[in-house]
Amino acid sequence: MPLHFINVRFIPLSFPSSPSDSPYSFPMSHSVNRDFPTSLISSNDTHIIDLDTTNDSGDQFMAGFPSMSEIRRNPNTASELFNHITSLDEQLITLQNKTREEVAFYKSHIAALQSYYENTSKYIDDIESFVGNKIVKLEANLLSTQTNLQAAYQEIAR
């Protein structure tokens, strides 16, 4: 199932005279769909739904993230954000690898259970066949014994 990301417009706190006045100004509402080979996110399974129809980069912020004015006051904030995002990406990669390992484990476990089921079914079929053959032989012996007994009674009766 593809991952879906929604890019929404950030709420502007204030409007600077020109976004290009600041060296830290960049369009935060820009949608990017890149292929990160070591990440869960790849262009093959990611769809970005862009609800932001504006192109202004202004002083925008999103809940839980610092505003542009905070980033301008403390440029290290952007570096901290990048480090945090990198850490989250590494955690996602770790979770993806663990998930792959677990899926492989469960697939092998399912294959073992299927093999056990097939062997058990074959064993049950063999037992049913063996018991069926024994019943046929016992019925034949019973019929033969019954015929012999009837013949013996008829001979005794004469």
- Identify whether 136 is part of a domain: no
Please enumerate in sequence order all residues whose Cβ is within 8 A of that of 10, keeping only pairs 6 or more positions apart, or say none: 28, 29, 52, 60, 61, 62
Instruction: Identify the band that residue 64 occupies on the pLDDT scale cut at 50, 70 and 90.
Output: low
Q: CA 134 → CA 23, 129, 141, distances in Å?
A: 92, 9, 10
More confident residue, 149 or 70: 149
- Domain tally for the chain? 1
CA–CA separation, 39 and 91 (whole Å): 10
pLDDT, one tens digit per residue, over 112-130 is 999 999 999 999 999 999 9
Contact 67, 13 (CB under 8 A): yes
More confident residue, 72 or 150: 150
Q: Report which of 36, 39, 111 is spatially closest to residue 119, judged by C-alpha positions.
A: 111
pTM attached to this predicted model? 0.40
- Identify whether 153 is part of a domain: no
- The three-class DSSP label of residue 5 is strand
Instruction: Identify the band that residue 27 occupies on the pLDDT scale cut at 50, 70 and 90.
Output: very low
Residue 22: give the domain boundaries. 3-103
Over residues 52-58, mean pLDDT: 50
- Identify whether 128 is part of a domain: no
Over residues 9-14, mean pLDDT: 46
More confident residue, 48 or 70: 70
- Identify whether 147 is part of a domain: no
Q: Cα 15 from chain centroid? A: 44
- The chain-wide mean pLDDT, for the chain, equals 73
- Identify whether 10 is part of a domain: yes
- Identify whether 54 is part of a domain: yes
Instruction: Identify the band that residue 60 occupies on the pLDDT scale cut at 50, 70 and 90.
Output: low
- Identify whether 118 is part of a domain: no
- Identify whether 64 is part of a domain: yes
